[in-house]
Amino acid sequence: MHRCIEVVFDKLPPARTEPPSNSDRTDGAIYIQAFVMNAFGALENLAWVWALERDIRQTDGSPLKPMMIGMTKNHKQMWRSLPLDFREYLLTLETWFAVMTDFRDSLAHRIPLYIPPFVVDLNDLEEYQRLGRAAADALRDFDLGGYTRLKAEQQSFHRYRPWMKHSFEENSKPFLFHAQLLADFNTIAEIGSRLADMLDMAP
C-alpha cells in the first residue's frame, strides 16, 4: 500500500495542472486499484487476526465461517467479541467502511476505478461542443488546417483534476485520490494499532 502511494504521487503529483500522459494516467489508475484491493484485504486480515487470536466461535462452538469474519456490526458474532470502546470507534467509521466496500466491489465485480484524462468546466461546455462540431465539419470538408486549428482551440479548454470514480451511471461521486489514499492508509494503520493494543491486553 505504501508503494502504491509512492508511485501515484510520483506519476501524478498533487501540484500537477496539465493533463498527464496516457501512460502516467494508466499507471496511476493501476496502482490506485492495487491499493484499494490491498486496503480491503488488510481490513479483512485484521479481522482474521482478532478471530483467530481470541478463538472467536459460533454460539454452538463451531469455527466461524469466512463470511462471518469482519469488523462491522453486520458480523454479529465478531462484533459482540470486540470491546465496547472499539465498537464505538468503528461506528464512527461506518461511512468510510461503506465507501471502501463500494470501491472494492466495483473494482472486483463491475467497473474499474478510472482517472478521467481531462475535464471541461460546465461554463465552457457550450463553446467546447461548438468547436467540436465545427472541427467535424472542417474534417468532412477536407479542411485539415481548419480541423487542426479548431481541435487545438477545443483542447485549450481541457483541465486536469486528480479525480477518480468508478461509474457514470451508479451515482458514484468523484473523489480526490491523493487525499483519499493517505486517509485510507492512516485509517487502516490506526485500526491495526488499536487492535494490537487490545491483543496485548489480557483476555
pLDDT tens digits, 140-164: 999 999 999 999 999 999 988 898 8
Q: Is residue 62 part of a domain?
A: yes
pLDDT tens for each residue of 72-92:
889 999 999 999 999 999 999
Q: How many domains does the chain have?
A: 1
Q: Is the pLDDT of residue 110 over 90?
A: no
E strands in 54-196: 163-164, 175-176
Q: Is residue 72 part of a domain?
A: yes
pLDDT surpasses 90 at 11: yes
Which comes out higher in pLDDT, residue 63 or 109?
63
Closest of 164, 192, 194, 196 to residue 35, by C-alpha: 164
- State how far Cα 177 lies from the chain centre: 7
pLDDT of 14 reads 92
pLDDT at 172 over 80: no
150: in domain: no
- Which residue type is seen at 111? I
Residue 52 inside a domain? The answer is yes
HSE, CB side, 13 Å, CA atoms: give it for residue 160.
16
- Please tell me the distance from the alpha carbon of residue 130 to that of residue 136, in angstroms, as a whole number: 10
Q: Does 132 reside within a domain? A: no
Note down the domain range covering 53: 2-116+172-200
Q: What percentage of the chain exceeds 70 in pLDDT? A: 96
Residue 43 lies in a domain: yes
Cα 143 from Cα 151, distance rounded (Å): 12
Q: Is 196 part of a structural domain of the chain?
A: yes
**What average pLDDT does the structure give for the chain?**
89
- Asked if the model's pLDDT at residue 109 lies above 80, the reply is no
pLDDT at 202 over 60: no
Q: 92 in a domain, yes or no?
A: yes
- Asked if residue 3 has pLDDT above 90, the reply is yes
**pLDDT band (50, 70, 90) for residue 28:** very high
